[in-house]
Amino acid sequence: MPSASTACSGQSFRDRHDVSRQQIYAWRHELKKKGLLPSTADTVFVPVDTAAMHGAPLVREEVARVPAMIELRLNDGRSLRFDSGVDAAVLTRLIRAVEAA
């Protein structure tokens, strides 16, 4: 829970960010409706240092992507299995070769 020294009043928040009192009440109402804010919660605004975020590079975790396997059923009942990374031109030639066989 934020201490009194780090929290600000709703009025000072509204003044700094040009937000109306009605907007604050609308946000609170939406949060309560979604169950994200208890109906007895006191409104407390906590300052966030966004200056550190401006100009900072976006950090993303690299995720190892495994190509999805695709199965293509041809008209003659045959099927081709290939991964989603296959080149479209190669796949087209392969389909034509299998259908011609």
Instruction: List the chain domain ranges.
Output: 1-49, 69-100
Q: What is the structure's pLDDT at 52? A: 66
Low-confidence ranges of the chain (pLDDT < 70): 1-8, 38-44, 49-64
Q: What is the structure's pLDDT at 30? A: 84
d(CA 87, CA 84): 9
- What counts of helices (H) and strands (E) characterise the chain? 3, 2
Q: What is the structure's pLDDT at 4? A: 43
Q: What is the structure's pLDDT at 15? A: 82
Q: What is the structure's pLDDT at 60? A: 66
Q: What is the structure's pLDDT at 32? A: 81
Q: What is the structure's pLDDT at 43? A: 63
The label of the residue with tokens 């087209």 reads 92
Q: What is the structure's pLDDT at 24? A: 82
